[in-house]
């Protein structure tokens, strides 16, 4: 499907610089542009690509002023990155969507399928599952008993939704994710043998939560593990039992949140961050990649390092750390000088 520069600018509220009838039918990174492709320029360090790109249309900020000739038609918008994301959504919406219920799916009679719902081959839907409208359940998905799926939920191949979990409107579960597996609960007896604690709770994913591929969100021991609305979790993330993640928080791959910890709203969490159990992370907190968090963090803080510490303190500490070889050599030199001085003092005292 083709879109003209004029159509795109009208959809985004942008301004065309160049030929408004230029058309595109695909998207490409600006450094890999080709005729018929749409690209965007948001980061100034990539500006040099705009003078070389073969893309037919490039979205730029309204403040952008070229310093050399540009062959592409430009569309000036307030935020090129956000606008490009909106166009990708539009492009994806026009792709063919799967429909119908496969005869190879196993659906319990007590679980009526909602209107416009797709169920793929070898999907299994248990007893008393409530399924909303326009739900997409791809092949080899497992949905356990008494699960609730809201409207416009999408569950990609191989994902597992265990019993009693609740997925509200617009939730996306990517391939291989596991929602509602037993939490890691064991209690040792007087012989040091660990016995499993039954996990009787569930998982609640609120509106427009996105769970990445092979991410696991464990069910609560009692009550619910909750991911609040608008939160996006990357691939390969572990959320422990009874944990709570606030609204509109984003977390990158291999993040681990231990049981009963709570993360606030609008937080940004880098890859491989670990948060210990029973902690409270405030709103608008930023955690740099590989941070190891073992204490509560107040609202609006930026932490990094392992153990995690405030950003300014970390940078000061790292400035010392990276100079340790030179500092160590200087200390050894000073020790030798002190030894010589002590020896001279000893000789004079004789």
Whether 241 is catalytic: yes
Q: Where are the alpha helices (DSSP H) in the chain?
A: 5-12, 47-50, 80-93, 311-321, 324-349
- Please report, for residues 37, 309, 330, the alpha-carbon distance to residue 253 in angstroms, rounded to integers and kept in the order given: 30, 21, 41
Q: How far apart are CA 272 and CA 304, in angstroms?
A: 12
How long, in residues, is the chain? Answer: 350
Q: Which residues contact 96 (CB under 8 A, 6 or more apart)?
A: none
Residue 259: alpha-carbon gap to chain centroid: 19
- The answer for 122, left when phi > 0, alpha when psi is -120 to 50, beta otherwise, is left
Assess contact for 38 and 16: CB atoms under 8 A.
Answer: no
Given the residues 94, 146, 228, 241, the one annotated as active site: 241
Cα four-point dihedral sign 69, 71, 77, 82: negative
Q: What are phi and psi of 194, to 5 degrees?
A: -90, 135
**Helix axes 5-12 and 80-93, enclosed angle (nearest 10):** 110
Distances (CA, A) of 333 to 72, 338, 340: 63, 9, 11
Q: How far apart are CA 224 and CA 21, in angstroms?
A: 54
Q: Among candidates 227, 207, 208, which has minimal Cα distance to 216? A: 227
Catalytic residues: 241
């Amino acid at each position: 499907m083709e879109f003209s520069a004029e159509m795109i600018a009208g959809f985004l509220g942008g301004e065309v610089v160049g030929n408004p009838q230029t058309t595109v039918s695909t998207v490409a990174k600006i450094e890999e542009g080709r005729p018929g492709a749409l690209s965007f320029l948001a980061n100034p360090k990539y500006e040099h690509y705009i003078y070389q790109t073969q893309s037919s249309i490039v979205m730029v900020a309204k403040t952008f002023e070229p310093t050399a000739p540009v062959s592409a038609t430009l569309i000036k918008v307030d935020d090129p990155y956000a606008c490009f994301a909106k166009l990708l959504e539009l492009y994806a919406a026009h792709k063919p969507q799967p429909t119908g219920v496969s005869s190879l799916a196993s659906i319990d009679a007590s679980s009526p399928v909602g209107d416009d719902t797709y169920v793929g081959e070898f999907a299994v839907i248990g007893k008393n599952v409530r399924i909303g409208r326009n739900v997409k359940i791809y092949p080899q998905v497992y949905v356990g008993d008494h699960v609730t799926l809201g409207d416009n939920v999408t569950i990609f191949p191989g994902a597992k939704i265990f019993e009693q979990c609740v997925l509200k409107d617009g939730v996306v579960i990517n391939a291989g994710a596991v929602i509602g597996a037993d939490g890691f609960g064991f209690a040792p007896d007087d012989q040091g043998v660990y016995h499993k604690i039954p996990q009787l709770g569930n998982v609640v994913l609120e509106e427009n939560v996105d769970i990445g591929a092979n991410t696991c969100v464990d069910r609560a021991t009692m009550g619910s593990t909750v991911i609040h609305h608008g939160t996006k979790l990357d691939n390969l993330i572990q959320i422990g039992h009874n944990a709570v993640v606030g609204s509109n928080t984003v977390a990158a791959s291999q993040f681990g949140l231990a049981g009963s910890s709570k993360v606030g709203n609008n937080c940004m969490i880098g890859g491989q961050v670990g948060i210990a159990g029973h902690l409270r992370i405030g709103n608008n907190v930023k955690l740099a990649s590989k941070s190891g968090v073992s204490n509560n963090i107040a609202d609006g803080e930026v932490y990094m390092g392992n153990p995690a510490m405030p950003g300014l303190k970390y940078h000061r500490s790292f400035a010392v750390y990276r100079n340790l070889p030179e500092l160590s050599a200087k200390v050894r030199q000073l020790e030798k000088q002190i030894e010589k001085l002590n020896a001279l003092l000893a000789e004079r005292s004789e």
